[in-house]
Amino acid sequence: MHSLMIVDSNDTELMAIQRAFEQTCSVITMNNGKSALGRLNKSTVMPDLMIIDLEVVGISAFEMMGRIKGNDKMKDISIVIISGDKESSTELEAYRLGASDFIHKPVNVTLLKKRVELQLEVLGYKKQVQSHVNQLQQNVNFHAQNSLRLEYFLIGIITDLISVKDGFTGMHSVSVSKYMGIILRDMMMSGINYGIAPEDYELILLAAQLHDMGKIGVPDSVLRKEGKYTDEEFRQMKNHTIYASNAIEKYAYLLPNNKFIVYTYQMARYHHERFDGNGYPDGLSGQNIPFLARVLAVADVYDALTAKRSYKQATTHEQAYNIISQGAGIQFDPQVVSAFQRAQADIFETAKQMMAQTMQMQAQQAQQSDMHQRMVQKSRQMDRANSGKVI
């Protein structure tokens, strides 16, 4: 989903443009040019495109454009100007400063939407080209490429081993990673610097898939139990955070200062901590819980609530939304919950896609199991038939 920032001091115009794009884009609205620049300066992820009213208050729109295009972090933002000024010199100045398009008032929202969609399509092509360039650059760096392959390799092995012990955990790990990605992206675009480098985004989501790797050490009788745990069983289950973090600590010296190892450790050990300090394994609270673990905690609970298990029915998206919202400041970081609420439509759509994939996998597994049973039955029939023959 593309991201869009609308900067317009006319509230009626601002709301009309927002409504036109809110179903197809992640939209941020600002009614003051100076405030918009301030938010961009603080944000770690830039919007794909900005729609700026030439008459915006707080700062001259042309001065604002000059600052955006002169800033390395912001220069790639595509800018569409809307204006009631009919002078061709004004339009030419906008293009000179880097505008991608210039639309005259009164704004026809349908026409604006079409022209913005064309700009976003061009941006999509540019991103594809840049993606290919980046891939070529990665291919040049042999060691970096092998490192990435090793991470995928380890993730694949560990998630497969967990799936052997617990068939639900493998798909759960992938789902949680996807939900976390949606929440994390929203937070990185919020204008608040959470200390996460944009280039680490994909690496973080890879590491998130290993958050339950410690379940390999949990006894099968506990992991596969359908029903409420006893106190002892719950203690054994809680140990999965310690099993994982202890294993990482033991071998981390082999890859000192490796970000993948750091992110994996933080999420594996701390994703069951609670904002109020009543979680485990260390009883951390508030900002003492690593940021990524706070984000993962919300994604983890959302999937746990909405995924169907043999021992429970799935809750609806609305029920999960309410449970997580009520946990703000108690179980969850309020800022993370706010991001979850803003991104809940994307999360719900992703959840439906994951459910469809799960059902498809289950159908394939059932088909394979049925085929295996028929082969076994046929083999037994042949054995019985052959047992009466005299050779």
Backbone angles phi, psi at 190, to 5 degrees: -75, -10
Residue 218 pLDDT class (50, 70, 90 cuts): confident
| Average pLDDT over every residue of 98-114 | 91
The better pLDDT of the pair 162, 208 is held by 208
Average pLDDT of 244-262? 89
Beta pairing, strands 25-30 & 101-104: unpaired
3-state DSSP assignment of residue 104: strand
pLDDT of res. 216: 85
Mean per-residue pLDDT of the chain: 86
pLDDT at residue 186, rounded to an integer? 94
What confidence category does residue 356 fall into, taking pLDDT thresholds of 50, 70 and 90? confident
Superfamily of domain 2-134, CATH level 4: Response regulator (3.40.50.2300)
Fold classified for 142-364: Hypothetical protein af1432 (1.10.3210)
Q: Please report, to the nearest 10 degrees, the dihedral formed by the alpha carbons of residues 87, 89, 92, 96 taken in order.
A: -140
Q: What is the mean pLDDT of residues 138-150?
A: 62
Domain positions in the chain are 2-134, 142-364
Q: Give the pLDDT score at 225.
A: 80
Q: How far apart are CA 198 and CA 71, in angstroms?
A: 17
Query: 24-55, pLDDT tens digit by residue?
Result: 899 999 999 999 999 999 998 899 999 999 99
The C-alpha atoms of residue 315 and residue 303 are separated, in whole angstroms, by 10
* Residues with Cβ within 8 Å of residue 333, at least 6 apart in sequence: 275, 286, 289, 294, 295, 297, 298
Please tell me whether residue 225 adopts helix, strand or coil conformation. Answer: coil
Order across the sheet with 78-83: list the strands: 25-30, 2-7, 49-53, 78-83, 101-104
As a whole number of angstroms, the distance between CA 35 and CA 83 comes to: 20
Burial pattern 137-173, b for ≥16 Cβ within 10 A else e, equals: eeeeeeeeeeebeebeeebeebbeebeebbbbbbbbb
Which residues sit opposite 309 in a β-bridge? 312
Packed helices 11-21 and 109-140: angle between N→C axes, nearest 10 degrees: 60
Q: Which two tokens stand for residue 90?
A: 């004004």
- Least confident interval from 152-161, 185-194, 272-281: 152-161
- What's the pLDDT band for 185 if we cut at 50, 70, 90? very high
The 10s digit of each residue's pLDDT in 375-389 is 767 777 776 666 655
Structure tokens at 185: 């992206």
pTM of the model: 0.59
H runs (alpha helix) in the chain: 11-21, 33-42, 61-69, 88-96, 109-140, 142-165, 167-188, 201-208, 220-223, 231-238, 240-251, 259-270, 291-306, 317-326, 334-342, 344-387
| pLDDT for position 292 | 98
